[in-house]
Amino acid sequence: MAYSEKVLEHYENPRNVGSFDKDDPSVVTGMVGAPACGDVMKLQLKIDENGMIEDAKFKTYGCGSAIASSSLVTEWVKGKTIEEAAAIKNTDIAEELALPPVKIHCSILAEDAIKAAIDDYKSKQTK
């Protein structure tokens, strides 16, 4: 299957790959996986005291579309507030990357990774 140019671009030059120190209190982590293809995605956000996302990193084991989706998401969330990041929809990701229907689940995974990271943030806030 042919990947779109945007997917290839992110796949060949993925942005923000790696991990933050998970013991850093400003770092939250979202881990998600897609059973259909066995893809695993980790998204980490560095969030300042005002709820602004300062930085983002990801590590994804999966196909080109999954890697591109998570790479794109790390670019998008930087500088956004938690609320703005939570509003990112999988359809936005799929549209930006021109994902074919069989790869829509990769964008769903990336959206769910943001949500999981925000859940982690909220659970840390209430502690």
Partner 1 sequence: MNYFELFSFTPSYEIDTALLAERYRELQRAVHPDKFANSSEQDKRIAVQRTAQVNDGFSTLKNPISRAEHILALNGFDLQHESTTVKDTHFLMQQMEWRESLEDIAHSSDPHEMIAGLYESFSVYAKKIEQDLAPLLLSDSEEALSRAADLIRKLKFMAKLNIELERAEDVLFD
Does 61 help bind partner 1 (rule: CB under 8 A)?
A: yes
Tell me how far apart the alpha carbons of residues 75 and 44 are, in angstroms, rounded to a whole number.
Answer: 12
Torsions phi, psi of 30, nearest 5? -120, 120
Cα angle: 75, vertex 77, 80; to 5 degrees: 130
CB of 44 to partner 1, least distance (A): 12
Q: Which of 112, 114, 117, 118 binds partner 1 (CB under 8 A)?
A: 112
Identify the bridge partners of residue 26 per DSSP, sorted by sequence position: none
Query: Using CB under 8 A, which residues numbered 82 to 111 contact partner 1?
Result: 104-105, 108-109
Q: Is 63 a catalytic residue?
A: no
Nearest to 92 by CA among 81, 78, 76: 76
Q: Which of 10, 14, 16, 42 binds partner 1 (CB under 8 A)?
A: 42
Does 35 help bind partner 1 (rule: CB under 8 A)?
A: yes
Q: Is 77 helix (H, G, I), strand (E, B) or coil?
A: helix
User: Which sequence positions are flagged as catalytic?
Assistant: 37, 106
Q: Which residue ranges make up the site for partner 1 (CB under 8 A)? A: 29, 31-38, 40, 42, 59, 61, 104-105, 108-109, 112, 116
